[in-house]
Chains A and B, each alone.
Chain A
């Protein structure tokens, strides 16, 4: 067999096209803005019913091989689902569950794969416990630790921004083990009652938890056996960036649309306010920012491979561009709604909060540009 050429540019498969279309309709139907607002006060980010529907569509197994109950596609196809969900502010553990499955697929034992991948493809929820209180985006900066005692590992320290932890059946956890990064799987049953506490976060569509590991023990067999976990953590970080870029591109389209709607219907001084160039021109800037972000996104989706992180430049550009453009579009959305924009009732704030969350998880624009400088200029 001849060696396959690496894809470049933008490849957009029929599967991606179909998924994008179906997910757009699904998200618009299942997550209209009043449903999103109702869910803000609920215990979980998503209703069990909607989560089961997502599972039934097969979307949790998109990037899981067929032999483990998935569809055998890749993260590029997951991007096509996440983008329209982001547009409708539909919040769910889909990205975390997908990323945990990717980590298991790459670094897990055969037993771990056959035990967990079919479950995750079928609707079990995974949570990522990777970030720590110092807030550093370098996932190898670990203060949580595990120490061996016989066949067991004793854990200590704390994790933060563990989203949808209360729904989770499985946690993918990073710790320092004998001074080097390790990844391990932890079942919900390993947690004591007080291990999780709810965090108050800026994006109210999300459910975020702190996780205390002190006193928890798990079997050493739960470690992902692969070597170079440090490299895998970086791959996981970049994969998360790819999905966040998708979510942000969707969010940008959503916020641009609600703002356009307002500019076309609100009248002041006998004119629709969208006729004023002071508002019209920044809307064009927002559109131009979105168009470039989407191009970077679908290029990154084309060239990215877990876990090598190949396509690192493309993914970092996608996240940096999406973050900067979403920040602009959602910030202007508040301003252009005038006094209504200052209220809780105006949806612009939901998007601005979402944009801040997405940018500040897994590296803001400046951080990625700094890494891009090292990759491109040295």
Chain B
């Protein structure tokens, strides 16, 4: 039975109070804006402690089954917590890949042993997860993955490398797509999918410096790393299907994520506030008609995307192109975020030229850094251009691009 409105209202009050009381104070060092930017041990430990605290309070994985460490409650409770975390701008949950992609995947198609082994430790952040999909020569073309997984008895031997591994330096496990058979009719048939341990001999994550100047992901080298075949999820040779399932969680086309915020939320209202501070021709920038028009555009789009999420749940208003809103969600939200940050930078006038460590940088350079980091959303998990192919082909039914 779904919870009553009064029950949810009561819960909302409880949650708001808990976050007000327990939200960590400013740590005195720069926090990352999303899980893709965790670059120092200090940042990592701080965020891991915070996630554990939220989980121990019962506010994470609330709708996951209780036998594996979840809350066993209605999704509505978790949604309230997630919205409140965003509203109070609490730090994000750093184990995103575990909470939002690997966890739902394991619950969806993992073995009983895998569920017992991993789910609770994902929630508590005892195990940090990363993703091994992209390779140096295969980014958007995921099906062409070349990292070799050669069966040797009841083990697989891994050789090759993965790249853009967020949290690669900290992760305990990786969801790994690898080529277990090179002699198949199509490139998709030779792939297998593993829940692979990271802290074993032969796996070496090497940090990569990002365009922001920070560290946050790695190229991960595999040199005769041996993992047991119990690490397989799905059948050997059926890794492509598992990867596709993972992407539906990653792109939020499927539900079942543990909840919580996973990046520092950005609101158009914050950019409106910035426009009140910035100056143009001796007046507040917010009085400039062209700037006003752009601000309205961002507010409209923000509202439109929120309303899309509400409308997506009404079948009678989605009959023609069902799934259009969900399929385009990553595209629309990541592009909006990129453009909003970009506009916030240019709004600062000459001060737009300052960067993060400058003492006079507006909002500590948050917008400059946010703009650069926003490309992780428009590139990671399939670039916006690939997303447009996907929406064009699967939603609009257009022929495949060569």
Which A residues are closer than 8 A to B by beta carbons?
Answer: 9-10, 12, 16-17, 20-21, 253, 256, 260, 263-264, 271-272, 274-277, 280-281, 283-285, 287-288, 291-296, 298-299, 317, 320-321, 366, 369-370, 372-373, 376-377
Contact of B398 among A12, A275, A295 (CB under 8 A): A275
Cβ of B331 < 8 Å from any Cβ of A? yes
User: Which chain A residue shows the least CB distance to B393?
Assistant: A280
A275 to B393, CA, bound (A): 9
Contact with A along B143-161 (1 / 0, CB 8 A): 0000000000000000000
A10 to B310, CA, bound (A): 7
Contact of B310 among A9, A253, A285 (CB under 8 A): A9
Cβ of B396 < 8 Å from any Cβ of A? yes
A320 to B304, CA, bound (A): 12
Nearest CB of B to A15, in Å: 11
Q: How big is the B interface, by class?
A: 35 or more
A/B pair count, beta carbons within 8 Å = 131
Question: B399–A277 contact, CB under 8 A?
Answer: no
Cβ of B292 < 8 Å from any Cβ of A? yes
User: Which chain B residue shows the least CB distance to A263?
Assistant: B398
Question: B388–A292 contact, CB under 8 A?
Answer: no
Question: B388–A295 contact, CB under 8 A?
Answer: no
User: Which chain B residue shows the least CB distance to A282?
Assistant: B388
Chain B residues with CB below 8 A from A20, complex form: 316
State whether A10 and B299 are in contact (beta carbons under 8 Å apart), knowing that A280-B401, A283-B396 are contacts in the complex.
no
* Chain A contact residues, majority secondary structure: helix
Question: B401–A276 contact, CB under 8 A?
Answer: yes
Cβ of B352 < 8 Å from any Cβ of A? no
Nearest CB of B to A9, in Å: 5
Contact of B328 among A263, A284, A296 (CB under 8 A): A284
Chain B residues with CB below 8 A from A9, complex form: 307, 310
Chain A residues with CB below 8 A from B385, complex form: 277, 281
Question: B307–A299 contact, CB under 8 A?
Answer: yes
Question: B304–A292 contact, CB under 8 A?
Answer: yes
The contact sample of 16 A-B pairs, CB cut-off 8 A, is: A12-B314, A263-B398, A272-B399, A280-B392, A281-B392, A283-B398, A284-B395, A288-B332, A294-B311, A295-B304, A295-B310, A298-B307, A299-B310, A366-B293, A372-B296, A377-B275
A377 to B332, CA, bound (A): 24
Question: A287–B296 contact, CB under 8 A?
Answer: no
- Most-contacted residue by chain A among B275, B304, B321, B397 (CB, 10 A): B304
Chain B residues with CB below 8 A from A281, complex form: 385, 388-389, 392
Question: A274–B293 contact, CB under 8 A?
Answer: no
Chain A residues with CB below 8 A from B296, complex form: 369, 372-373, 376-377
A372 to B345, CA, bound (A): 23
Question: B398–A377 contact, CB under 8 A?
Answer: no
Chain B residues with CB below 8 A from A277, complex form: 385, 388-389, 401
Cβ of B362 < 8 Å from any Cβ of A? no
Question: B399–A287 contact, CB under 8 A?
Answer: no
A376 to B385, CA, bound (A): 33
Chain B residues with CB below 8 A from A370, complex form: 289, 292-293
A280 to B399, CA, bound (A): 9
Chain A residues with CB below 8 A from B281, complex form: none
Question: A287–B398 contact, CB under 8 A?
Answer: no
Chain A residues with CB below 8 A from B275, complex form: 377
Chain A residues with CB below 8 A from B393, complex form: 280
Nearest CB of A to B178, in Å: 30
Question: A377–B286 contact, CB under 8 A?
Answer: yes
Nearest CB of B to A264, in Å: 7
State whether A292 and B301 are in contact (beta carbons under 8 Å apart), knowing that A12-B317, A373-B293 are contacts in the complex.
yes
A326 to B300, CA, bound (A): 16
A299 to B272, CA, bound (A): 23
Cβ of B196 < 8 Å from any Cβ of A? no
Cβ of B24 < 8 Å from any Cβ of A? no
A59 to B277, CA, bound (A): 51
Nearest CB of A to B212, in Å: 28
Nearest CB of A to B395, in Å: 7
State whether A287 and B307 are in contact (beta carbons under 8 Å apart), knowing that A275-B401, A281-B388, A294-B317 are contacts in the complex.
no
State whether A321 and B304 are in contact (beta carbons under 8 Å apart), knowing that A12-B317, A260-B397, A288-B332 are contacts in the complex.
yes
Considering only residues 312-350 of chain B, those with a C-beta below 8 Å from chain A are: 314, 316-317, 320-321, 324-325, 328, 331-332
Cβ of B402 < 8 Å from any Cβ of A? yes
Contact with A along B368-402 (1 / 0, CB 8 A): 00000000000000000100110111011111111
- Most-contacted residue by chain A among B307, B314, B316, B397 (CB, 10 A): B307
